């Protein structure tokens, strides 16, 4: 079963913190549609090679990691629809102690890489790319002769339109007055700019998070400063960058030169949501709430529009049961489990189930049309939400 993005992010964070004492951590990527049995045979061949490793401890750990991976592959009749990633290796921090663990991931997008790798670190780049934000940005590179308009999703550029003008060069033809030539040329430039603006309006809809405009020379600035671009489109322009080209090369060039704008836009939505929550809270409008029980109540009454949850919360939704037969659910930090008493009889309770907070709320909101936003702690606003308990909701109506 495919991993939800938040779980995959959490797992990648865990895997990235693991470092082997030697090159004994095994990474296996199986692309969508590739034969499981072929990969299993490859790993068996790698076992034959690993027998030659001189260090007894390293040899034992590599063979153990490979065996765990081979045994796990037997659970699959065929490769999952999006492929499979396996991470196996000794995670013990004590020299000479073996603790071989295995993780298997069915990715949210098709894997297009086949890999066997043995190193001190797990190779995570293909999965890390999948969990990056996939917001769509608009990219425009232009001058007076040409314009290329594209969508940027993650690292993938998709050209939407290419436009060519009939604007002549700056040098007039013989027999034509300079003034007349200049007027004609300016008129054609004006028409071309209108055409670019119209194409941007058609290509950049509501889902576009931001737009970056670029190109060689002053044309882009003249276009931006003129009365060509519709206000709703203009408001989404994040910045203007110089490029040497107006074709596909120019698109890649502007993306490389705009990483600061793109990174800033990634957190802008999060900051805006938290600022809205804090603002409504300060006004005392009654249109927000926070805390696990209050937000849960708002969701179950259909009042929660957007639930904000801090990334990295260590609370769990646990299900507890007492010997008296009473069972109940509660949000707790893991270390608080040992302190729990039955609210009915005061007796000892035992843990019979647990799940991640985000997973709990995702299940809770699915029948109410409520959305969930995971808020990082990388901004001042995100850290403020975390310090307030890490969970809040923007409401549709007062409770």
Alpha carbons within 13 A on the beta-carbon side of 2: 14
Question: What's the average model confidence in pLDDT over 208-236?
Answer: 94
- pLDDT of 376 higher than 90: no
pLDDT digits (tens, 9 = 90+) for 346-375: 888 888 888 888 888 888 888 888 988 888
Measured over all CA atoms, what is the biggest interatomic distance in the chain, rounded to whole angstroms? 104
Which token pair is 115?
């890999």
The Cα–Cα gap between 127 and 231 comes to 38
Q: Can you give the pLDDT at residue 76?
A: 93
Residue 338, in any domain of the structure: yes
Locate tokens 């069972």: which residue?
327
Same-domain pairing of 224 and 292: no
Residue 263, in any domain of the structure: no
Same-domain pairing of 229 and 296: no
Residue 375, in any domain of the structure: yes
The Cα–Cα gap between 188 and 170 comes to 12
CATH of the domain at 86: 3.30.960.10
Domain count, the chain: 3
Of 237, 257, 277, the position where a domain reaches its end is 257
CATH of the domain at 356: 3.30.1330.30
- pLDDT of 256 higher than 70: yes
Q: Can you give the pLDDT at residue 346?
A: 84
The Cα–Cα gap between 276 and 299 comes to 19
Same-domain pairing of 86 and 146: no
DSSP string across 53-111 = -S-HHHHHHHHHHHHHHHHHHTT-SS--TT-EEEEEEE--SSTT---EEEEEE--SS--
3-class SS of residue 381: helix
Residue 262, in any domain of the structure: no
Same-domain pairing of 69 and 119: yes
Of 131, 162, 194, the position where a domain reaches its end is 131
Which token pair is 294?
């209050």
Same-domain pairing of 10 and 126: yes
- pLDDT of 21 higher than 70: yes
CA-closest candidate to residue 81, choices 102, 103, 111, 104:
111
3-class SS of residue 377: coil
Residue 115 or 376, more confident: 115
Q: Can you give the pLDDT at residue 328?
A: 84
Same-domain pairing of 172 and 287: no
Which token pair is 139?
């990219």
Which token pair is 133?
């934000």
Same-domain pairing of 368 and 252: no
Residue 376 CB coordination number (10 Å): 17
| Partners of residue 137 on adjacent β-strands | 152, 210
Question: What's the average model confidence in pLDDT over 125-154?
Answer: 88
CATH of the domain at 182: 3.30.420.60
Same-domain pairing of 273 and 321: yes
Residue 227, in any domain of the structure: yes
Q: Which H or E run includes 115? A: strand 115-119
Same-domain pairing of 391 and 272: yes
Residue 58, in any domain of the structure: yes
- pLDDT of 231 higher than 70: yes
Which token pair is 43?
């790993």
> pLDDT-based confidence at 266, cuts 50/70/90?
low
Give the range among 135-139, 247-251, 279-283 with minimum mean pLDDT: 135-139
pLDDT digits (tens, 9 = 90+) for 29-49: 999 899 999 999 999 999 999
Residue 281 CB coordination number (10 Å): 16
- Taking the whole predicted model, whether its pTM rises above 0.85 is answered as no
Q: Mean of the per-residue pLDDT values for the chain?
A: 88
- The domain in which residue 231 lies consists of 136-257
pLDDT digits (tens, 9 = 90+) for 276-324: 999 999 999 999 999 998 999 999 999 999 999 998 787 888 888 888 8
CA-closest candidate to residue 212, choices 137, 160, 146, 134:
137
- pLDDT of 178 higher than 80: no
Helix ranges (DSSP H) in 210-323: 219-225, 231-234, 248-256, 259-283, 292-300
Same-domain pairing of 197 and 214: yes
Of 210, 230, 257, the position where a domain reaches its end is 257
Same-domain pairing of 288 and 251: no
Residue 127, in any domain of the structure: yes
Same-domain pairing of 231 and 302: no
Q: Can you give the pLDDT at residue 63?
A: 95
Q: Can you give the pLDDT at residue 43?
A: 95
């Amino acid at each position: 079963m495919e991993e939800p993005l938040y779980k995959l992010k959490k797992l990648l964070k865990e895997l990235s913190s693991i470092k082997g004492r030697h090159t004994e951590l095994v990474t296996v990527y199986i692309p969508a549609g590739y034969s499981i049995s072929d990969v299993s045979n490859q790993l068996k061949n790698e076992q034959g090679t690993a027998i030659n490793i001189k260090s007894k401890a390293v040899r034992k750990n590599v063979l153990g990691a490979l065996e765990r991976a081979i045994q796990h592959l037997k659970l699959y009749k065929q490769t999952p629809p999006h492929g499979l990633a396996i991470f196996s290796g000794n995670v013990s921090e004590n020299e000479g102690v073996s603790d071989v663990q295995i993780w298997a991931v069915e990715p949210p997008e098709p894997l297009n890489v086949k890999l066997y790798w043995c190193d001190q670190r797990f190779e995570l780049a293909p999965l890390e790319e999948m969990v990056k934000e996939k917001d769509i940005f608009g990219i425009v590179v232009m001058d007076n002769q040409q314009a290329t308009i594209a969508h940027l999703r993650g690292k993938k550029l998709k050209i939407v339109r290419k436009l060519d003008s009939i604007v002549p060069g700056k040098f007039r033809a013989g027999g034509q007055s300079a003034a007349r030539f200049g007027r004609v040329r300016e008129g054609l430039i004006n028409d071309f700019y209108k055409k670019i603006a119209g194409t941007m309006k058609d290509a950049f809809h509501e889902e576009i998070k931001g737009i970056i405009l670029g190109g060689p020379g002053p044309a882009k600035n003249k276009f931006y400063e003129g009365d060509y671009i519709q206000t709703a489109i203009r408001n989404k322009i994040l910045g203007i960058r110089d490029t040497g080209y107006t074709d596909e090369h120019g698109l890649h060039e502007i993306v490389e030169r705009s990483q600061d704008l793109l990174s800033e836009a990634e957190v802008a939505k999060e900051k805006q949501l938290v600022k809205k929550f804090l603002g409504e809270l300060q006004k005392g409008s009654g249109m927000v709430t926070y805390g696990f029980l209050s937000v849960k109540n708002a969701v179950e009454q259909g009042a929660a529009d957007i639930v904000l949850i801090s990334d990295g919360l260590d609370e769990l939704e646990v299900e507890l049961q007492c010997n008296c037969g009473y069972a109940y659910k509660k949000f707790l930090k893991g270390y608080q489990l040992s302190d729990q008493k039955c609210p009915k009889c005061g007796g000892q309770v035992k843990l019979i189930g647990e799940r991640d907070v985000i997973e709990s709320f995702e299940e809770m909101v699915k029948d109410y049309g409520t959305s969930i936003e995971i808020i990082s702690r990388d901004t001042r606003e995100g850290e403020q939400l975390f310090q307030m308990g890490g969970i809040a909701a923007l409401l549709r109506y007062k409770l």
